Amino acid sequence: MGHNSLWQTGPCDEHGLGRFHTFGAKDVYRWAVFHVFGANRAPHEPLMPRPDNWPRTILHVDLDAFYTSVHQRDDPKLRGIPVAVAGRSRRAVVMGASYEARAYGVRSAMPLHEAMQVCPQLTVVQPDGARYREASRTVHQIFRRFTSPELVEGVALDEAYLDVTARTRHGTSNAEEVARRIKFQIHTEVGLTASVGAATSKLVAKVASGTRKPDSLVLVPPGTEADFLAPLPIVVIPGLGPKTEERLHAMGLRTVGALAAYETQRLVQALGTNGAVLQRLAQGRDRSPVDGSRPAKTISAETTFENDVSDRGQLESALRDLTDRVTERLKTDGVRARTVYVKLKLPDFRLVSRQVSRTSPTDDVETIFRAARSALEKSHVESRAVRLIGVGLSGLEHPEPDLQLTLFD
């Protein structure tokens, strides 16, 4: 099979080798080589031909249906049936949906009562943050076997970029081998599946990981990026907002390829400098680095009350619970926060947000709770009813090196 074909293997067959499909040279993806493997394939099995010597090798790893998959892994009764993760309140929203539930139209962020309407047999399980964090930590330990910690950029508990160029630059390994081993180790050690996109940029790797989910591996070799992206809808470009999407649609631009080929000056006139940036991304031109040295910009948690709450004691009780949750995440990530903010949503859906900043960062739960309580007081909602309350931390910093010594005692 030559370089001008697209290769894809589907989910594992009974021999674990996967089903094999070939697309001809006239296919829209003709210059992209796709390998889509099941996670159960052992890394020692023969590899298909592939181009080597990538100038940069970036992986985007996305754990499939992460929240529900953790529950299905741990409870055999949940396997093969529609499952959603959500709170108990009648105002709860779906935090995650299994692929069985998605087949009925259940989606993340959907109000739970709507999810129950489209899928009456839906099984709802309570969120278990500690279990999710433990699974995520174990997966990140696997990542660090393949590259240095500063080249693992966590986007969320279930998603990360890895720069593995050091492993592929000198021909000792290649993108396919590294990605397959990561998938195999996640499956055998954590009991989860992951979809992986491999490319020379973060943008293309992220798009690739989402094209054949679940349990897939999609490789986009150097020089094929623009052709790979061209037939896809413009919404696949990360960070493209709905308003910009509407404006592009009004200009007749619906695919990434159309955006890539559009006259640059007209794009800039319509969208400002963002137009030129979007076009470069549409052309597959993205040199942004994988940077695991930066902590997340914010850490937050919120809760929606089943009935609107005006009692100050009940609000502070919820504030305490949320503070405990964000502080636990803060310590898990090994960072400290300078700013604590509280968000309130009123019955008319108006948002009120207040913050308190410190001169020095902290990860002390009592200090953070006092700051959150002070922010609540500054909101001046007094006896007004509250529909939702949230606590967030920003100004996140890694401790100075001398403060980290206790981690290794």
Angle at 36 between CA 185 and CA 215, to 5 degrees: 50
| Rounded distance between C-alpha atoms, residue 226 and residue 319, angstroms | 48
Six token digits for residue 329 = 């995440």
Where would I find the H helices in 193-241? 202-209, 225-229
Sign for the CA dihedral angle at 343, 345, 351, 352 comes to: negative
Q: What is the DSSP letter of 93?
A: B
**344 within 8 A of 388, measured Cβ to Cβ:** yes
Geometric angle at alpha carbon 328, from 322 and 334, rounded to 5°: 135
Helix 66-74 with 129-143: angle, nearest 10 deg: 100
Residues facing residue 198 across a β-bridge = 59, 219
Nearest to 276 by CA among 263, 258, 292, 289: 263
Q: Which helix (H) or strand (E) holds 305?
A: strand 298-309
How would DSSP label each residue in 315-330? HHHHHHHHHHHHHHHH
Instruction: Say how far apart CA 221 and CA 233 lie, in whole Å.
Output: 21
For tokens 């094209």, name the residue.
Answer: 211
**Residue 26 burial (CB count, 10 A):** 7
Residues marked as catalytic: 159
Tokens standing for residue 290: 């994988």
3-class state of residue 248 by DSSP: helix
d(CA 138, CA 146): 14
Phi and psi angles of residue 109, each rounded to the nearest 5 degrees, phi first: 75, 0
Q: If you compute the radius of gyration of the chain from its CA atoms, what whole number of angstroms results? A: 23
Q: Residue 387: in which H helix or E strand, if any?
A: strand 386-394
Cα separation, 378 vs 142, in Å, equals: 44
Alpha carbon distance 194, 159 (integer Å): 9
